Amino acid sequence: MPSVFEISNSGMCNRKCAFCPRSDPNYEHNNEFNLADPGYQITFPKDHGPHKNFRIEWWYLTSNLKSESIANLGIQWTLFKSNLTPTSSKKPNNLNSFWMAHSAITTDTLHYFEERFAREESDQAGVKLDPFRAWIDNWSVTGDDRLETMQLESSGVDFAFSLKFSTKIKPVLQGNAGYSKKSETSAASHYYSQPFYNVEGWVTLNGERHVVEGVGWLDREWSSNLLNKSQLGWDWFSLHLNDGRKVMLFKVRHASGNDFLSGSWINQDGTKKPLNASEIELEEMSYSTVKGRKIPTKWKISFLGRNGLTINTEALNIDSWMDTNFPYWEHLDSGLSLPLEQTATQQQLLLIPSAGHKEHLTSKHWKNSTTY
């Protein structure tokens, strides 16, 4: 998914907030950053760590959980890194990296969130290997270098969570061996996922602790490409089917109506079949007004050639606006209608307003559901 930095760096935002890379005198729009390379071979554990010669990257964790008293509960923890200059630049880079993190928890009746900002040189935030550690302030993800086991710790004013993620399946390289195109031209990123985590631990809501369990998904992406002015939005879905298969798909909206659609069908053993535009139909069925913005809250996803598999999904808690410095929206899902007794348990949507939107806010939608 494109990060909030891709909005602010793209030239569409005229604000220069103190925490934004554009406010830094060292920030530069140049061609010195590396671009995603279709010939690059992703290797682990190296690529679990940061990439200093790329403009932007993120570590994005979500989990779909349940407890004895809460049927649908979801968490998000995302760490973004933006490099102001590549390490090869001859300009001063003593404050080269900017970090931002979001933490959130959502149920059908509530939605809490927090955000953090940091500069790398203060040791307030960073990502290191041997062993793996990603952190900002007292929020952290720690684990082995293969990321087969991770511990996530995060908290806010009204919530906290401590969750263990574990898997024995290798990460999935999205796109073509990890080279993920975002348009028919040159826009691309390096992108891999780990959609096979089992999750257990506890969450605290308004002072009450709940023992939880569920499934988790990690997305890792790094790039130096920015969305161009003709790319008006981004819808991203990650789906857990109840037989253990996974689906990732996204659509980048284009001003001409010629949207870019791509995805992956992931088997239980982690093997993957790419999905192209001719195999996916994504239809927005209805909209709701959230914080004065018209946002799709019901979708129909059809997988052509998959025995008529269709997913119908609708927002459970539409009042889950993330009123951060880069505002966006995320929510739980109220239910799905699937043939073949298949059930999806997570779907995520990222909407980026059109270039004509005055504030150019990121609108991200994260949906969580359980078996129906």
Domain of 109, CATH number, reads: 2.40.370.10
User: In this structure, which amino acid lies at residue 139?
Assistant: W
Percent of the chain at pLDDT exceeding 90:
48
Kindly indicate the confidence band of residue 206, based on its pLDDT and cuts at 50, 70 and 90. very high
**Sign (positive/negative) of CA torsion 304, 305, 310, 315?**
negative
Q: Which helix (H) or strand (E) holds 233?
A: strand 231-240
Higher-pLDDT residue of 325 and 227 is 325
Confidence of residue 337 (pLDDT cuts 50, 70, 90): very low
C-alpha neighbours within 13 Å on the C-beta side of residue 176: 9
Q: How far apart (Å, rounded) are the C-alpha atoms in residues 128 and 48? A: 9
Q: Judge whether residue 79 has pLDDT over 70.
A: yes
DSSP 13-63: -----TTSGGGSTT----S-S----TT----TTGGGS--TTSSEEEEEEEE
Find out whether 3 and 80 touch, Cβ atoms under 8 Å. Answer: yes
Rounded Cα–Cα distance for residues 19 and 17 (Å): 5
> How many C-beta atoms lie closer than 10 Å to residue 295's C-beta?
19
Q: What is the pLDDT of residue 123?
A: 84
Instruction: Give yes or no for a contact between 57 and 223, defined as CB atoms under 8 angstroms apart.
Output: yes
Domain limits at 294? 4-368
- Of 336, 333, 326, the C-alpha closest to 364 is 326
- Between CA 112 and CA 331 the distance in angstroms is 11
323 or 44: which leads in pLDDT? 44
What are the tokens at 12? Answer: 């569409």
Domain count, the chain: 1
The amino acid occupying position 136 is I
Each residue of 93-130: pLDDT tens digit? 446 788 999 999 999 889 999 999 998 777 899 999 99
Q: Work out the average pLDDT over 6-19.
A: 35
pLDDT in tens, 48-64: 999 989 999 999 999 99
